[in-house]
Amino acid sequence: MKVLYASWELDPYIKLGGLGDVARSLPAALGKNGVDIKNVMPFYKAVKIDKKNLVKTGELEVEYDGRSERVIIYETINPTNRIPLFLLQNRKYLSFADSQNNFAFFAKAIVEIIRQKTIAWIPDIIHCNDHHLGLLPLLVRHNKLKVKTILTIHNLSYQGHAPIAVIEKLGLKTSHCRPHAWEIKSRQLNFLLEGIIHADVINTVSPTYAREIMREEFGMGLEDILRGKEGRVFGILNGIDKEYNNLLHYQALDYPFLSGIAGGSKKLYSWQEGKKHNKAHLQEKMKLKIDSDIPIFAFIGRFDAQQKGIDILHKLIRRGAYEKYQFVILGNGNSDWEERYAWLSKFYPESVSCNFLFDPHLAHLIYAGADFILIPSRFEPCGLIQMIAMTSGTLPIAHKTGGLADSIKNGRNGFLFENYTSESLGMMIDKAVDIQKNDRAKYEEMVSTAMRTDFSWDKSAREYIGLYDKLYLGEY
């Protein structure tokens, strides 16, 4: 069984979010479990690869917007997972990822490579990711290719809209797609909607989120379409690459405590010693009082009030009831919210440190040095923050939704609050501190349980292989 894993980003070449991590780690786990799998992504101008590591495997002409475009296919090996990678090069449409035209052309180029048999390796299944590849299942059906498609939805709120003329640029008629009634009037095309309609199977990145998106509260306007695909919508929890994460932990920290690094020169500490030293280092770096008895609550994430819960976290800190604790914030995004948080750090300089940037090394210091990680998301398809934090012995305090509900066991390896309010978040913070201060045995047991929780990709890979097998056998 041959699987082509199609995504618009892939670590270490281009990584703008969690998809880049997944596109690296999941194919690696699938490959280890016997799947003949290859990645494919655009050969962006920003991608730098030594020419000696590139092999040109073919070229073809792709019709788009009434013109013929030359696409060159290169193949290389991703050094981080040893999985083969196809890079598709076209100066006009595949050098950047800044419009829906780029994504539409990328989808058509993949389909044309298969239709024209430009390369010898032809997949049985194409695994599409998010709205960027939403038009690929439609193109596969239109060309009557003997290839099955699976669409993974990493976040339903990103649907990808473009003028419906994109369909005509692909050489199709608008009657081939099925826009919503209001989209027909506005001449708009929804890429993710088309993917959901035409893919053989759909999955999301956690079982709870797969159920949530069937409801109006979480369905982002697509709940009726998704309910119509019931029986073909699945939820498979993402994992993390523990070995890769441990390597980053080891490289970033002066006091590493995660095992799995062969031949390292640094001393490996116990988690208790490691967290104590890293906590002091974090407090010093953040210009906070160095005191091991003061709990540190961290937030790492995008400044997005619609999803990430920064509104209720801000409200909680703003009330001033938690000045005796320390809050370390790492993230960026909405400039208005950055300004509001900057105000908090000025008003409470001894308890709030805000860092508006993307800094992987600082993130690993926070994971290792904080006592608790706050994930107050309004909704969360999966979430990787809680998994990395637990691996690093930092207990999550999270809203019970999506992948957070699937990966955190309340009172065993973290804490979950039910209601999306600052009051509910505050009550859970109080409970967590009470256990840490007054029931040390339970706290250390929770940390040990969190660190032992299996978030490897192997279980997820087996579930995907189960879906692939059913697709390959024609059950969908």
Q: Which residues carry a binding-site annotation for ADP-alpha-D-glucose?
A: 15
* Cβ neighbours of residue 344 closer than 8 Å, sequence gap 6 or more: 314, 317, 318, 352, 354
* Cβ neighbours of residue 290 closer than 8 Å, sequence gap 6 or more: 280, 283, 284
Q: Are 257 and 368 in contact (CB under 8 A)?
A: yes
DSSP 66-112: TEEEEEEEEEEE-TTT--EEEEEE-TTTSS---SHHHHHHHHHHHHH
Q: Are 392 and 365 in contact (CB under 8 A)?
A: no
Q: Are 192 and 225 in contact (CB under 8 A)?
A: no
Q: Quote the CA–CA distance of 167 and 330 in Å, as a whole number.
A: 40
Terminal C-alpha separation, the chain:
16
Q: Quote the CA–CA distance of 413 and 408 in Å, as a whole number.
A: 6
CA dihedral sign of residues 288, 292, 297, 303 = positive
| Overall size of the chain counted in residues | 476
Binding residues: 15
**Strand 67-77 with 84-89, pairing:** antiparallel
Dmax over Cα atoms in the chain, in whole Å? Answer: 71
Q: Quote the CA–CA distance of 368 and 214 in Å, as a whole number.
A: 37
* Cβ neighbours of residue 197 closer than 8 Å, sequence gap 6 or more: 137, 138, 178, 225, 229
> What are the φ and ψ backbone dihedral angles of 280, each rounded to 5 degrees?
-65, -40
Q: Which of 448, 433, 452 is nearest to 271 (CA)?
A: 448
